[in-house]
Amino acid sequence: MGATRVVVIGGGIAGVSVAHHLLQLDPDLDVLLLEMEATLAHHATGRSAALLLENLGTGSIRALTSASLDYLRNTPDGLIDAPLLSHRPVLHVGTVRQDEAIDRMLAEGIESATTPTVEIDVDEAMRLFPPFRRDRVHRAIVEPDSADIDVGGLHQSFVRGLRRAGGRIATSGRVDAATQDGHGWRLDTTEGSVGADVVVNCAGAWGDVVAATAGVAPVGLQPFRRTAFMVDGPGLDTTGWAFAGDIDHLWYLRDDGPQMFCSLAEENPSEPCDPRPRELDVALAIDRLNEATTLGIRPVNSAWVGLRTFAPDRSMVIGSEPDHPTFVWCVGQGGTGIQTSPGAGLLAAQLVVGVAPPQHSQTLTWLTLGPTGSGPAEDRDDDNC
């Protein structure tokens, strides 16, 4: 495009990744990252359970995860203080009434995964997560090569790369209007006017709101609530315990130091906002967890809600708006935004600078925006929030 000024809207994991990769591809770009909150990663990024789970989401999302693995495992020198990944198996369990769901997830993992999902016996499931009530585990499957992701470390790696390459970050700057003039875009923000040749929309749940300020049609983004909370742990050595969840996404939990990280795993529609936990949602999660485990959860130490935002087909929207080619989307990450951030950020940056993706081109370039929005819908949707 020959652009020199690029404004990236949104300081979550998508925005910082795009901004970082833009300057890796073209160090001469003038890149400004705009964040409406006073701090970066205030919303979904800072509220994620953050698993690396290769068998997660639609086919295009799995391709973006594959494209992210090298960065996650071999992060460039100087961008992190410690490895981003810590191995943790992900365990899905079901009762006798959930055989069909177990079979479906097992088949999908075997057919399309880089690291196949495997079925294990109940004894092995109990070893991987000892608090299970044995009579509640009829069958179990495990994704053995998954890992926890250090969200703060990953986000900071992109911020470091961006700043070291000369990129700028401005917080507390909500975009209220974006108009095209003879020199590109003029963005009217709460902190003043900003000029740009290209605008990259990485605004997460607010992606359609940002598009509206620019006179661009929405793509139908829908945020969904996901409740999470921390409780006291069992007071045991939890080393090696799996991330455990119900096969039908009724709950999940994992150990987190001396505490347990728990979630209702719900998906309830929401407006773009800074959501607050509801007592009934937390109570329902506790009931389900106590029915499935021997943890005896009662008091809650802290609780929060994150928004997981999807396009209608549950694939990401990455690419230029057809009627406004200097308006670029990178939204709709749903529950996979952390693990796909290196690949998605690189793809969006390549499209901005006009560089064809050198790898994974057959599986990634079709995510670019077409006349009706994001790429084709596929079947499986799981949890990464």
Residue for token pair 């880089």: 114
How far is 149 from 151, CA to CA, in rounded Å?
6
pLDDT digits (tens, 9 = 90+) for 175-212: 999 999 888 999 999 989 999 999 999 999 999 999 99
Q: In sequence order, what DSSP letters do the residues of 213-253 get, joined into one string?
A: HTTPPP---EEEEEEEEEEE--SS--TTPPEEEETTSS-EE
Q: Do 52 and 15 have their domain in common?
A: yes
Q: 0.85 cut: is pTM over it?
A: yes
Q: Do 129 and 239 have their domain in common?
A: yes
384 within some domain: no
**What element of type H or E holds 280?**
helix 279-292
**Mean confidence (pLDDT) of the chain:** 89
**Segment 302-328 mean pLDDT:** 96
| Strand-by-strand arrangement of the 198-201 sheet | 168-170, 30-34, 5-9, 198-201, 324-331, 317-321
Residue for token pair 């690949």: 343
Query: For residues 353 and 2, is the Cβ–Cβ distance under 8 A?
Result: no
376 within some domain: no
286 within some domain: yes
Q: Do 160 and 288 have their domain in common?
A: no
Read off the tokens for 83: 């490895």
- Ranking 52-56, 177-181, 283-287 by mean pLDDT, the lowest is 52-56
Q: At what angle do helices 341-353 and 151-164 cross, to 10 degrees?
A: 30
Asked if the model's pLDDT at residue 363 lies above 50, the reply is no
How far is 125 from 118, CA to CA, in rounded Å?
12
Considering only the C-alpha atoms of the chain, give the largest distance between any 2 of them, rounded to a whole number of Å: 69
Q: Do 69 and 130 have their domain in common?
A: no
How far is 128 from 125, CA to CA, in rounded Å?
5
Q: Do 229 and 328 have their domain in common?
A: no
Q: Do 249 and 279 have their domain in common?
A: yes
Give 112's pLDDT tier (boundaries 50, 70, 90).
Answer: low
Q: Do 159 and 176 have their domain in common?
A: yes
Q: What is the DSSP letter of 193?
A: E
Q: Which domain holds residue 290?
A: 89-145+222-310
Per-residue pLDDT, 265: 96
Give 275's pLDDT tier (boundaries 50, 70, 90).
Answer: very high
Q: In sequence order, what DSSP letters do the residues of 98-160 get, joined into one string?
A: GHHHHHHHHHHHHHH-SS--EEE-HHHHHHHSTTB-GGG-SEEEEETT-EEE-HHHHHHHHHH
**Segment 66-76 mean pLDDT:** 96
**Structural domains of the chain, count:** 2
CATH of the domain at 356: 3.50.50.60
What's the Cα-to-Cα distance from 376 to each of 59, 110, 345, 370, 379, rounded to whole Å? 9, 22, 20, 10, 10
Asked if the model's pLDDT at residue 377 lies above 80, the reply is no
Per-residue pLDDT, 111: 67
CATH of the domain at 254: 3.30.9.10
How far is 306 from 65, CA to CA, in rounded Å?
21
Q: Do 63 and 157 have their domain in common?
A: yes
| Number of helical H runs and strand E runs in the chain | 9, 21
Asked if the model's pLDDT at residue 3 lies above 80, the reply is no
Give 381's pLDDT tier (boundaries 50, 70, 90).
Answer: very low
pLDDT digits (tens, 9 = 90+) for 32-45: 999 999 888 776 56
Which of 282, 310, 338 is at the close of a domain? 310
373 within some domain: no
**Mapping DSSP to helix (H, G, I), strand (E, B) and coil, where does residue 84 land?**
coil
Taken in order 72, 73, 77, 78, the sign of the CA dihedral is positive
How many C-beta atoms lie closer than 10 Å to residue 197's C-beta?
Answer: 18
275 within some domain: yes
211 within some domain: yes
Q: Do 303 and 318 have their domain in common?
A: no
202 within some domain: yes
Q: Do 326 and 230 have their domain in common?
A: no
- Ranking 110-114, 186-190, 229-233, 298-302 by mean pLDDT, the lowest is 110-114
Q: Do 126 and 229 have their domain in common?
A: yes
Q: Do 116 and 137 have their domain in common?
A: yes
378 within some domain: no
